[in-house]
Structure 1
Amino acid sequence: MKSIYQIAIYLSIFTILTGCVREIPNASNFEPQVFISGFLTNGTKHVTVKIQRTVPVDNLSLDPINDAQISLYTKYSSGEINLITSSFDIANGTYRSSEMITTVVGNSYWIEIQLADGTSFKSDEEILKDGVIIKDIEITNELNRVVFADPPDDINFYLINLLFFRNGSLDLETNELTNDVLFNGNDNATFDSTEFLVDNPQEVHVSISNLNFNTYQFYLNQFAQFENQITNAGSEEDPGQLFLPPPANLTGNIMNTSSNTRALGFFGVQSTTQFIKDF
Structure 2
Amino acid sequence: MKSIYRTPIYFLTLLLLVGCVKEIPNTSNFEPQVFISGFLTGGTEYVTVKIQQTVPVDVQSLNPINDAQISLYTKDSDGNDELLTSSFEVANGMYRSSEMITSIVGNTYWVEIVLADGTRFVSDKEALKPEIAIKDVVVTNELNRVIFADPTDDSNFYLINFLFYKNDGSLDFKINELTNDVLFNGNTAATFDSTEFLINNPHEVRVSISNLNFNSYQFYLNQFAQFENQITNAGSEEDPGQLFLPPPANLTGNIMNTTNNKKALGFFSVQSTAQFIKNF
TM exceeding 0.5: yes
User: Which shifted more, 123-132 or 163-172?
Assistant: 163-172
After TM superposition, the structure 1 stretch with the greater mean CA deviation from structure 2, 60-69 or 145-154, is 60-69
Do the aligned partners of residues 23 and 105 (structure 1) sit closer, same or farther apart at CA in structure 2, a change above 3 Å counting?
A: farther
- Identify the residue that residue 111 of structure 1 maps to in structure 2: 111
- 2:217 counterpart letter in structure 1: Y
Q: Structure 1: which amino acid aligns with 2:33?
A: Q
Contact kept in structure 2, 1:25 and 1:57, CA below 8 Å: no
DSSP 3-state at the match of 2:271: strand
Aligned pairs for 1:136-215 (under 5 A) are 136-167=136-167, 168-215=169-216
SS at match of 1:121: strand
Which residue is 1:121 aligned to? 121
C-alpha distance in structure 2 between counterparts of 1:22 and 1:103, whole Å = 52
Separation in 2, partners of 1:179, 1:23: 42
Partner of 1:48: 48
- Work out whether residues 25 and 58 of structure 1, in 8 Å CA contact, stay in contact via their aligned partners in 2: no
Distance 2:141 2:60 in 1: 40
- How far did residue 169 of structure 1 move? 2.0
CA distance in 1, matches of 2:197, 2:251: 26
Runs of at least 5 residues in structure 2 that lack an aligned partner in the other structure: 1-21
Query: What is aligned with 1:243?
Result: 244
Q: Is contact 2:42–2:104 with CA below 8 Å preserved after alignment?
A: yes
Q: Distance in 2 between matches of 1:95 and 1:201?
A: 34
User: TM-score, normalized by length of structure 1?
Assistant: 0.90
Cα offset for 1:166? 1.9
Q: In the TM superposition, what is the alpha-carbon distance from 1:198 to its structure 2 partner? A: 4.5
Give the 3 Å change call, closer, same or farther, for CA 128–49 of structure 1 in structure 2: same
Contact 2:142 2:197 in 1 (8 A): no
The alignment status of 1:36 with 2:36, answered yes or no, reads: yes
Amino acid in the other structure paired with 2:144: N
1:260-275 equivalences in 2 (<5 Å): 260-275=261-276
Q: Is the 8 A contact 1:156 1:210 kept in 2?
A: yes
Stretch deviating more after TM superposition (166-175 or 82-91): 166-175
Which amino acid in structure 1 is aligned with residue 170 of structure 2? Answer: S
**What CA distance in whole angstroms lies between the structure 2 residues aligned with 1:214 and 1:228?**
21
Tell me, in whole angstroms, the C-alpha distance in 2 between the residues paired with 1:68 and 1:102. 23
> Residues 198, 155 of structure 1: CA spacing in aligned structure 2 closer, same or farther, 3 A cutoff?
farther
C-alpha displacement at 1:211, in angstroms? 0.4
Residue 218 in structure 1 maps to residue 250 in structure 2: no
Give, in angstroms, the shift of residue 197 of structure 1.
2.8
**Of the two, which has the highest radius of gyration?**
2
Q: In structure 1, what is the equivalent of residue 278 of structure 2? A: 277
Partner Cα distance (2:199, 2:101) in 1: 37
Q: 8 Å contact 1:75–1:109 — kept in the other structure?
A: yes
Distance 1:143 1:95, change over 3 A: same
* 1:198–1:134 CA distance, 2 compared to 1 (3 A): farther
Amino acid at match of 2:132: V
Cα contact 2:148–2:189 (8 A) shared by 1: yes
Larger mean CA deviation between 124-133 and 198-207 belongs to: 198-207
| DSSP 3-state at the match of 1:185 | coil
**Structure 1: any 5+ residue segments left out of the alignment?**
1-20
1:39-75 Cα deviation digits (max 9, x unpaired): 0011111111111110000111111111111100000
* Deviation at residue 196 of structure 1 after TM alignment: 3.6
Alignment match, 2:259: 258
Contact residue 219 and residue 252 of structure 2 kept, 8 A: yes
Residue 78 to residue 272, structure 1, CA distance change in 2 (3 Å): same
